[in-house]
Structure 1
Amino acid sequence: MTVWYVYIISTAQGVLYTGITNNPARRIRQHSGLIKGGAKALRGKGPLQFECVFEVANKSVALQLEAWIKRHSRAAKQQLIQRTLQPPVENSLLTAEAIRQMNSALRSQ
């Protein structure tokens, strides 16, 4: 069974973007324009960086969590990033160190 992730990315202008993937490292490279397939909304908005990444059990849960996050305000998204708000689905928030490593790997490419 494939592990899925829900992520929040920030742009250079401070805009928050939420999405899902089964490969966060590949997905942020796509969004950054390093490889084909990123969201049009993020083109030319770099540098991009992960703010938080949730690991969930499957794609269905990922879609539910993504929709839940997108329904919330910027303030609520900031609370998720700061870990003061918990989403209503079972998840495992990747550690700040893991997120730093993914962001560092992106900047070094």
Structure 2
Amino acid sequence: MKNWYVYMLRCADGSLYTGVTTDLTRREQEHNTNDKLGARYTRCRRPVVMVWHEPHPDRASATRREVALKRLKRLQKEHLITAATLSG
């Protein structure tokens, strides 16, 4: 059984992108190199760097968390990123 992940990328312009995936490395690479598989939002904001991720047992819970994260203010997202950096 694969874990699902919610992740945040920091784009070259400093903006944050949030998504879900089962493979963090592959997904970051797709965002940086593949115009068909990378998100439209990140295509013109390359390079992107994975700055935060969180595991989930299934796609449904990962998607719910993604929606919740997208509703957060930028400062709240930055606090999550900082906390993860300090703890890991």
Aligned residue in 1 for 2:28: 28
Aligned residue in 1 for 2:50: 50
Amino acid at match of 2:52: C
Amino acid at match of 1:70: K
Runs of 5+ consecutive residues of structure 1 not aligned to the other structure: 85-94, 97-109
Shift of 1:60: 1.0
Q: Comparing both structures, which one devotes a greater share of its residues to helix?
A: 2
Shift of 1:44: 2.6
Shift of 1:25: 0.7
Question: Are 1:77 and 2:81 an aligned pair?
Answer: no
Aligned residue in 1 for 2:64: 64
Q: Which has the higher contact order (CA 8 A, sep 6+)?
A: 2
Amino acid at match of 2:53: V
Aligned residue in 2 for 1:89: none
Aligned residue in 2 for 1:19: 19
Shift of 1:47: 1.4
Same amino acid, percent of matched pairs: 33
Shift of 1:28: 0.8
Amino acid at match of 1:29: Q
Runs of 5+ consecutive residues of structure 2 not aligned to the other structure: none
Alpha carbons 1:29, 1:35 under 8 Å: kept: no
**Post-superposition CA distance 1:19-66 (Å, at most 9, x none):** 000011111111112474010111131111011111111111100110
**TM-score where L is the length of structure 2:** 0.88
* Aligned Cα root-mean-square deviation (Å): 1.8
Question: Are 1:40 and 2:40 an aligned pair?
Answer: yes
**TM-score where L is the length of structure 1:** 0.72
The SS at the match of 1:68 is helix
